[in-house]
Structure 1
Amino acid sequence: MATSIYDQGLEPCQANYAVQSPVDFLERTASVYPDQPSIIHGAIRYTWAETGERCRRLASALAGRGIGRGDTVAVMLPNIPAMIECHFGVPMAGAVLNSLNVRQDAPAIAYMLEHSETRVVIADREYGEVIRQAVARLKQKPLLIEVDDPEYGEGEPVSELDYEAFLLEGDPQAEWSFPPDEWDAISLNYTSGTTGNPKGVVYHHRGAFMQALGNQTAWSMGMHPVYLWTLPMFHCNGWCFPWTITAMAGTHICLRRVDPEKVLQLIRAHQVTHLCGAPIVLNALLNASAEAKAELRHEVNALTGGAAPPAQLIQGIEEMGVRVTHAYGLTEVYGLVTLCAWKPEWDGLPLDQRARLKARQGVRYQTLAGTMVADPRTLKPVPKDGKTLGEIFLRGNTVMKGYLKNPEATADAFRGGWFHTGDLAVWHKDGYMEIRDRLKDIIISGGENISTIEVEDALYKHPAVLEAAVVAGPDERWGEIPCAFVTLKPDSDDVTEDEIIAFCRQHLAIFKVPGKVVFTRLPKTSTGKIRKFMLRNQAKEMQ
């Protein structure tokens, strides 16, 4: 590469270049706002000074046990203070945080622990039986530390080593160091593989730093947010919000499990300003008791993603006084990387039109380098006509390092210099993306593409429908036809399949109308995503 006058004598040095890591957010916040509330969990109250000391203790205690750069520390914890502390204390020690899905079974957990060569496991007592079974399968036994959360107060001990006792092994004033390279791994998140073993997605310090600030910038959060943890922190490291809220000197309101009545109670009690969650969380709030919803007096900001929310859901939740921002992402991109960036000229539109606009996945975060909707084979961008389907492609510093110990899958995901999401979307004239389906979920009926999301949107307009999912069902004539699985609202048992199909005919082209409607409870992942592969299997079995 040719040099210029700007390359001569202007090399980076210690004075003008530093490694970027979200761990440093804690250092700044604890020193600038030491007396501000950091974490609230039941009767537990911590200040930022106290949280800073506890995280230093954790890092120091891990180092005292020989844990350092490149070692994996796995945690199986709900949204409690220890989980937030692990997001700082573990990387402070130079180690990599592996947040385990609390709904996984023992064989899956054992695979993840062995695959990641885990040295330490920190687990809540609620998951003791699964952890004990998983560890029993391992040849190399990790150090096991249990968290006895007073908000749980049940179960048998996971280990003789208690988390609070372990912290006392550490120094609250211990020094910590930045990683030697910001490309160093900070966390590991396993995808919920529906076929074969899950893949380990690796994040680095630079990406986590940028994603944490990207969340704040894209959402315009401001300083000192009061954030309620309805999103599992084990999912994409809570979309990196443990680091975001800390950077903004906010208050983490912890919650072991999502209960809509409890969520609304905490929102009122602590004047919660922000929360995140999949559309299922918003749907639960929308269907909470009228008494609980009526007492919501201040504006709450909700960031939703993980699945495409129906416009009907967005309209309903905003009528409650909850301001919705719709975003999109995947585990491989640190959580969320695009959002429906709102424009002032849309404020005057009727609520239903605003909800329809908000249902789009939108444009890239400021911290993402590039997005495009393109042909999955040629990588040629599709026209911005709002009609032509293409796959969403992403690139930038907030894309994963790759899949742990899986170079083939990593290379395949990064073909052509872009991350292949597997999500199908259209590109609108204004540059906003709108997802139509997963590549594997699109229904091809008589040669016509049918978006399951479009059919689901129509189903959600029916006043008796609580939840809906649509998959391809086999058909002798058309090859595939839409098959709908529906959960009805309480006191709607008299609604029939014929009524739902007739309703869909009023809102969809005839070839998009479900040929079969099944009333059932929808199977979901721990993060609220509907397990469509199970429904596809069920549709095939019915045929």
Structure 2
Amino acid sequence: MGNAYLTGLDRNRANYAPLTPLSFLARSADVFPHKTSVIYNELRYTWGQTAERCRRLASALQKRGIVKNDTVAVMLPNIPAMFEAHFGIPMSGAVLNTLNTRLDAEAIAFTLDHGEAKILLTDREYSKIIAKALDLMTGPKPVVIDVDDPSYVGGAFLGEIEYEAFLAEGDPGFEPAPLDDEWDAIALNYTSGTTGNPKGVVYHHRGAYLNGVNNIVSWGMQPHAVYLWTLPMFHCNGWCFPWTMAANAGVNVCIRRIDPKQIFALIREHKVSHFCGAPIVHGMLINADPADQAGIDHPVAALIAGAAPPAAIIEGMEKLGVSITHVYGLTETYGPASVCAKQAEWDSESLAKRAELNGRQGVRSLLQEGIDVLDTMHFQPVPHDGQTMGEIVFRGNIVMKGYLKNERATDESFAGGWFRTGDLAVIDPDGYVKIKDRSKDVIISGGENISSIEVEDVLYRHKDVLAAAVVATPDEKWGEVPCAFIELREGADPTQEELLEHCRAHLARFKVPKLFIFGPLPKTSTGKIQKFILREKARSAEAIG
């Protein structure tokens, strides 16, 4: 009798289907074909129309020779084509690679080469940087398809066909091949290159499906939510929210760029119920013109992540009437994988205390198996005392497959049976995780990771720089910005403007230090720069105007 459950109870088509977020789109199109799916300026699509456009995209890609596990890259803002790419590209069997629109041409070229992109969809706004990136590529160049957003004036066409004409080539009745394995890759996202070149993080259909649902459950989203796209869809696939909104059969309100006045106007006009963003976005809303903030009389919920948000940000958003939930994760965890789950007893605390409690990285989200803080010496859990530091680790289905073409980095990140984040934290007595420091000296500015090593390497290439160390300094707008401490060669006397221009020539703009401080660098007896001393100095320094 002990083996009865092992015979005759096999997996088959009737009782098993691989998990894929593509099923969310199919369901919403079947059940709610006439409900609004996308709003962008005067443009409106229904879920039936969005599904048809995605089928056309998948069909057109296959007609151009795209096969399973080919990479299709996109360089797009938060417009309808970007949302459609999250379904149409994987429906074709390809892997979606959303490019960070804030990166320089060198980084884009590396990404296109490393990911072996066969096709690239790009908006006219980025034509200059894409043209340079294509010239810098060392491998075969992708076929370029231009996306012509009528609301943008400028730029140039680089490809042989425009997006709408490309969709017209596709079959509206296209039927994607059934997914054989939910472990198949669905997306490729690149880290911000915190240790040299960016690493390609591979997502699978299973994880995308689960985090898509996880967002609904952990946030308590009601059906048919109205979601404003203030979070870049290129960033961890918009924290999986394109798939979330298809599961929710909600409304995607697209916005091309972050503008507080427009954000408040859209919230009022469309009764936006949910949005996400890094602390910088929330800070911009808090500091917006009070006239723009006025007139919102319905419940609005927001997720905040990125650098640990200052309590003042959470407090400020609550004063605006926006309910804030803090989440934490990395590119390697599909975006948010932990949540600062609110406890009922926190409601009786002062606003300042609630903001402090809500500012922690929290506990594992519902569909993530585990989060812990392990001491870096013995890799054992730290006590829940709010004092003992260790490294944050994750385990579960909402963790990447691994790094593309980088087996060594993959093995290192999974050492010990956990995904090692590199972030140092404590666990409070109530079991909530709170970040204290970052083991890799990563600077998180406006939600984007900046490697101090990368910036230092650029500074060291300046003829007048003897030694350089880069640390984070607080910034009201960006959360953190790079601060460079420079030890000059004897007799050298460069201006700050000279160093600024040097960095601007070799770094993306958001990675350029906002502050330069000259003088001898504090070192240990073995010559190692003591960054903890510099961090203290940077906290009281004033950024360049």
Q: TM-score range by the shorter chain?
A: 0.7 to 0.9
Distance 1:471 1:378 in 2: 33
What's the counterpart of residue 52 of structure 1?
51
What's the counterpart of residue 324 of structure 2?
324
- Please report how far the alpha carbon of residue 263 of structure 1 lies from its aligned counterpart in structure 2 after TM superposition: 1.0
What's the counterpart of residue 395 of structure 2?
395
CA offsets 1:119-148 (integer angstroms, 9 cap, x no match): 100000111122122223344122110000
For residue 329 of structure 1, give the secondary structure of its aligned residue in structure 2: strand
- Please report how far the alpha carbon of residue 222 of structure 1 lies from its aligned counterpart in structure 2 after TM superposition: 1.6
2:214 maps to amino acid: G
What's the counterpart of residue 376 of structure 2?
376
Distance 1:514 1:276 in 2: 33
For residue 128 of structure 1, give the secondary structure of its aligned residue in structure 2: helix
The answer on whether the counterparts of 1:211 and 1:240 sit within 8 Å (CA) in structure 2 is yes
| Count of paired positions | 478
1:135 maps to amino acid: L
- Please report how far the alpha carbon of residue 301 of structure 1 lies from its aligned counterpart in structure 2 after TM superposition: 0.5
Distance 1:479 1:405 in 2: 34
- Please report how far the alpha carbon of residue 515 of structure 1 lies from its aligned counterpart in structure 2 after TM superposition: 7.2
Distance 2:531 2:204 in 1: 42
Distance 1:207 1:278 in 2: 23
What's the counterpart of residue 33 of structure 2?
34
Describe the shift of the 1:89–1:358 C-alpha distance in structure 2 as closer, same or farther (beyond 3 A).
same
Q: Are 1:131 and 2:154 an aligned pair?
A: no
Q: Any residues of structure 2 matched to 1:474-489 within 5 Å, and which?
A: 474-475=521-522, 479-481=530-532, 483=534
- Please report how far the alpha carbon of residue 345 of structure 1 lies from its aligned counterpart in structure 2 after TM superposition: 1.6
Distance 1:40 1:168 in 2: 21
Describe the shift of the 1:398–1:55 C-alpha distance in structure 2 as closer, same or farther (beyond 3 A).
same
Q: Are 1:77 and 2:76 an aligned pair?
A: yes
Distance 2:182 2:319 in 1: 44
The answer on whether the counterparts of 2:121 and 2:147 sit within 8 Å (CA) in structure 1 is yes
- Structure 1 segments, 4+ long, off by >6 Å, are 470-473
- State the TM-score, normalized to the length of structure 2: 0.84
CA offsets 1:133-192 (integer angstroms, 9 cap, x no match): 222334412211000001213222122300000000001111112321110000000111
CA offsets 1:184-240 (integer angstroms, 9 cap, x no match): 000000111144211100000001000100111100102001000011000000000
Distance 2:29 2:145 in 1: 26
Cα root mean square deviation, aligned? 2.3
Q: Are 1:345 and 2:345 an aligned pair?
A: yes
The answer on whether the counterparts of 2:279 and 2:479 sit within 8 Å (CA) in structure 1 is no
Q: Are 1:416 and 2:439 an aligned pair?
A: no
Distance 1:521 1:46 in 2: 45
- Please report how far the alpha carbon of residue 59 of structure 1 lies from its aligned counterpart in structure 2 after TM superposition: 0.4
Distance 1:351 1:10 in 2: 55
What's the counterpart of residue 229 of structure 1?
229
What's the counterpart of residue 184 of structure 2?
184
Q: Any residues of structure 2 matched to 1:125-204 within 5 Å, and which?
A: 125-138=124-137, 139-204=139-204
What's the counterpart of residue 504 of structure 2?
none
Distance 1:113 1:357 in 2: 42
The answer on whether the counterparts of 1:482 and 1:516 sit within 8 Å (CA) in structure 2 is no
2:38 maps to amino acid: I
Distance 1:185 1:315 in 2: 40
What's the counterpart of residue 540 of structure 2?
517
The answer on whether the counterparts of 1:471 and 1:482 sit within 8 Å (CA) in structure 2 is no
The answer on whether the counterparts of 1:481 and 1:515 sit within 8 Å (CA) in structure 2 is no
CA offsets 1:334-355 (integer angstroms, 9 cap, x no match): 0000011011121121111111
- Please report how far the alpha carbon of residue 467 of structure 1 lies from its aligned counterpart in structure 2 after TM superposition: 5.1
What's the counterpart of residue 506 of structure 1?
none
What's the counterpart of residue 493 of structure 1?
none
- Please report how far the alpha carbon of residue 103 of structure 1 lies from its aligned counterpart in structure 2 after TM superposition: 1.5
Distance 1:521 1:100 in 2: 30
- Please report how far the alpha carbon of residue 411 of structure 1 lies from its aligned counterpart in structure 2 after TM superposition: 0.4
The answer on whether the counterparts of 2:40 and 2:79 sit within 8 Å (CA) in structure 1 is yes
CA offsets 1:483-536 (integer angstroms, 9 cap, x no match): 56xxxxxxxxxxxxxxxxxxxxxxxxxxxx6576222269xxxxxxxxxxxxxx
What's the counterpart of residue 447 of structure 2?
none
The answer on whether the counterparts of 1:441 and 1:472 sit within 8 Å (CA) in structure 2 is no
Distance 2:86 2:364 in 1: 26
The answer on whether the counterparts of 2:194 and 2:442 sit within 8 Å (CA) in structure 1 is no
1:148 maps to amino acid: D
1:307 maps to amino acid: A
What's the counterpart of residue 21 of structure 1?
20
The answer on whether the counterparts of 1:92 and 1:178 sit within 8 Å (CA) in structure 2 is no
What's the counterpart of residue 540 of structure 1?
none
Describe the shift of the 1:440–1:111 C-alpha distance in structure 2 as closer, same or farther (beyond 3 A).
closer
Distance 1:34 1:24 in 2: 14
CA offsets 1:100-120 (integer angstroms, 9 cap, x no match): 011222221111111111110
- Please report how far the alpha carbon of residue 314 of structure 1 lies from its aligned counterpart in structure 2 after TM superposition: 0.6
Describe the shift of the 1:387–1:221 C-alpha distance in structure 2 as closer, same or farther (beyond 3 A).
same
What's the counterpart of residue 501 of structure 1?
none
What's the counterpart of residue 433 of structure 1?
433
Distance 1:470 1:73 in 2: 33
The answer on whether the counterparts of 2:211 and 2:334 sit within 8 Å (CA) in structure 1 is yes
Distance 1:516 1:176 in 2: 54
Distance 1:285 1:268 in 2: 14
Describe the shift of the 1:440–1:195 C-alpha distance in structure 2 as closer, same or farther (beyond 3 A).
closer
Describe the shift of the 1:212–1:3 C-alpha distance in structure 2 as closer, same or farther (beyond 3 A).
farther
The answer on whether the counterparts of 1:386 and 1:429 sit within 8 Å (CA) in structure 2 is yes
Distance 1:43 1:424 in 2: 46
Describe the shift of the 1:291–1:521 C-alpha distance in structure 2 as closer, same or farther (beyond 3 A).
farther
For residue 348 of structure 2, give the secondary structure of its aligned residue in structure 1: coil
Q: Are 1:66 and 2:71 an aligned pair?
A: no
Describe the shift of the 1:80–1:521 C-alpha distance in structure 2 as closer, same or farther (beyond 3 A).
farther
Distance 1:355 1:324 in 2: 9
For residue 156 of structure 2, give the secondary structure of its aligned residue in structure 1: coil
Q: Are 1:313 and 2:313 an aligned pair?
A: yes
What's the counterpart of residue 102 of structure 1?
101
Q: Name which of structure 1's ranges 288-297 and 87-96 shifts more when overlaid on structure 2.
A: 288-297
What's the counterpart of residue 239 of structure 1?
239
- Please report how far the alpha carbon of residue 475 of structure 1 lies from its aligned counterpart in structure 2 after TM superposition: 3.7
The answer on whether the counterparts of 1:483 and 1:517 sit within 8 Å (CA) in structure 2 is no
- Please report how far the alpha carbon of residue 65 of structure 1 lies from its aligned counterpart in structure 2 after TM superposition: 1.1
Distance 1:342 1:395 in 2: 22
Aligned-residue sequence identity (percent) comes to: 53
The answer on whether the counterparts of 2:202 and 2:402 sit within 8 Å (CA) in structure 1 is yes
Distance 1:196 1:185 in 2: 24
Describe the shift of the 1:124–1:177 C-alpha distance in structure 2 as closer, same or farther (beyond 3 A).
same
1:425 maps to amino acid: A
1:283 maps to amino acid: G
Distance 2:271 2:406 in 1: 45
For residue 13 of structure 1, give the secondary structure of its aligned residue in structure 2: coil
2:117 maps to amino acid: T
Distance 1:16 1:358 in 2: 41
The answer on whether the counterparts of 1:73 and 1:95 sit within 8 Å (CA) in structure 2 is yes
Distance 2:149 2:177 in 1: 30
